C-alpha cells in the first residue's frame, strides 16, 4: 500500500493556459474522487469514478474541466483556459468502493494561475 | 441534503489541556461521520469515523468523538493536547454509498497549541 499519489505537487501557469493533473489511487481501489480546496475552506467535491465510469459531476465542474480514468486505474483532471479563480489545491482520494468505506487522500496539487 | 457545521473556526489551547472541537450535522438518514486532520503542506489524514456502530468512536493519537443523535452533534475531543496536534481539523459527512459516497466537509477548525 503505497498511498494515493498526485503529480505535479505544484503548478504555476498563466491565465488562459491548459493544465493537466494526474492521480494514482491505491492499488485495487475501485472509486476515485476529485475535490477542490480553496484557501481557508474545506474541500469541495468535484467528481468521482467507479472503475472507469464517471458517475457524478458537481456543478462546480464547469465545461472547462474534464476528468478521465481510462483504464480504471489512474485519473487525469484537465482544466482548459485557466482562470485566476481556478487557483486552489486539487485533491484526489480513493476507496475500495464497498459501503461507507474510508477515502484515502493524496497530497494534492496546488495550482496557481497568474 | 447532508451538511456539517463546525462551530469554531479557531480553537487555542495550552499543551496538556483538553481539546474540544465542535461539529453539528444535518442528515435525512443515519449518517456516516468522519474527522480528518490536515497538517500544513500535508494531505488529509483520517482521525476516526462513525458508521452506526458504537456511538463513542476512538481514533488515532488519542482523539475520540461521540455521536449524539438527539443533539445532531459529533464533537471531537482529546484529554491532553500535544504541540504536534496543531493543525486544521475537518468534520465530514458522507453521502449514501448509492449516491456516490462523496464527502461533504465542514469549513474547518484551526487548532493552535501553546507551550
Weakly modelled stretches of chain A, pLDDT under 70: 1, 99-100
User: Is the minimum CB–CB distance between A35 and chain B shorter than 8 Å?
Assistant: yes
- Number of Cβ within a 10 Å radius of residue B13: 18
How is residue B85 written as a grid cell? 496536534
R_g of chain A, CA atoms, integer Å:
13
B22, B9 Cβ separation under 8 angstroms: no
Helices (H) and strands (E) in chain B, counts: 0, 12
Q: Using CB atoms, which residue from A33, A48, A107 is nearest to B43?
A: A107
The count of CB pairs under 8 A between chains A and B is 54
Rounded to a whole number of angstroms, the distance from the CA of B71 to the nearest CA of chain A is 23
The minimal CB distance from B51 to the residues A31, A97, A100 is found for A100
Mutate one of A33, A38, A100, A101 to test the B interface: name it (highest B CB count within 10 A): A100
Please, which pLDDT band fits residue B111 given cuts at 50, 70 and 90?
very high
In a 3-state reduction of DSSP, which class is residue B102?
coil
**pLDDT at site A97:** 76
Q: B70 preceded by cis ω (within 30°)?
A: no
Strand partners, B76: B21, B65
Q: Which pLDDT value is given to residue B97? A: 63
pLDDT, tens only, B12-48: 999 999 999 999 999 878 788 999 999 987 889 999 9
Report residue B68 CA to chain centroid gap.
Answer: 13
Tens of pLDDT, residue by residue over B64-102, are 999 999 999 999 999 999 999 999 999 999 877 667 788
HSE-up (13 A, CA, CB side) for residue B103: 34
To the nearest whole angstrom, how far is the Cα of A64 from the nearest Cα of chain B?
22
Rounded Cα gap, residues A79 and A64, in angstroms: 6
Report d(CA A22, CA B13) in Å as an integer: 39
Question: Rounded to an integer, what distance in angstroms lies between the CA atom of residue A12 and that of residue A40?
Answer: 20
Per-residue confidence (pLDDT) for residue A100, from 0 to 100 = 65
Name residues whose C-beta falls within 8 Å of residue B4's C-beta, 6 or more positions apart in sequence: B23, B24, B25, B26, B33, B74, B91, B92, B93, B104, B105, B106
User: Is A55 part of the contact surface with chain B (CB cutoff 8 Å)?
Assistant: yes
Among residues A81, A84, A87, A82, which one has the least CA distance to residue A110?
Answer: A87
Q: B103 to chain A: nearest residue by CA? A: A45
User: CA separation (Å) from A65 to A58, A60, A86, A96, B91?
Assistant: 11, 9, 10, 25, 27
Please list every residue in chain B whose beta carbon sits closer than 8 Å to the beta carbon of residue A10: none
Amino acid at each position: 500500500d503505497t498511498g494515493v499519489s498526485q503529480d505535479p505537487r505544484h503548478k504555476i501557469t498563466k491565465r488562459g493556459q491548459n493544465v493537466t493533473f494526474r492521480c494514482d489511487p491505491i492499488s485495487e481501489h475501485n472509486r476515485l474522487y476529485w475535490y477542490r480546496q480553496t484557501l481557508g475552506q474545506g474541500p469541495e467535491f468535484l467528481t468521482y469514478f467507479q472503475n472507469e465510469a464517471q458517475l457524478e459531476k458537481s456543478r462546480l465542474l464547469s465545461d472547462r474541466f474534464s476528468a478521465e480514468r481510462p483504464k480504471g486505474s489512474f485519473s487525469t483532471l484537465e482544466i482548459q483556459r485557466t482562470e485566476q479563480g481556478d487557483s486552489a489545491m486539487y485533491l484526489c482520494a480513493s476507496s475500495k468502493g464497498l459501503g461507507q468505506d474510508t477515502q484515502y487522500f493524496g497530497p494534492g496539487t496546488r495550482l496557481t494561475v497568474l | 441534503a447532508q451538511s456539517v457545521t463546525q462551530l469554531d473556526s479557531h480553537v487555542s489551547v495550552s499543551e496538556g489541556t483538553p481539546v474540544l472541537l465542535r461539529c453539528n450535522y444535518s442528515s435525512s438518514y443515519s449518517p456516516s461521520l468522519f474527522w480528518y486532520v490536515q497538517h500544513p503542506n500535508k494531505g488529509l489524514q483520517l482521525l476516526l469515523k462513525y458508521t452506526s456502530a458504537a456511538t463513542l468512536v476512538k481514533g488515532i493519537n488519542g482523539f475520540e468523538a461521540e455521536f449524539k443523535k438527539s443533539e445532531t452533534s459529533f464533537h471531537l475531543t482529546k484529554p491532553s493536547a500535544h504541540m504536534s496536534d496543531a493543525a486544521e481539523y475537518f468534520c465530514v459527512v458522507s453521502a449514501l454509498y448509492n449516491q456516490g459516497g462523496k464527502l461533504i466537509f465542514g469549513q474547518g477548525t484551526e487548532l493552535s497549541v501553546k507551550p
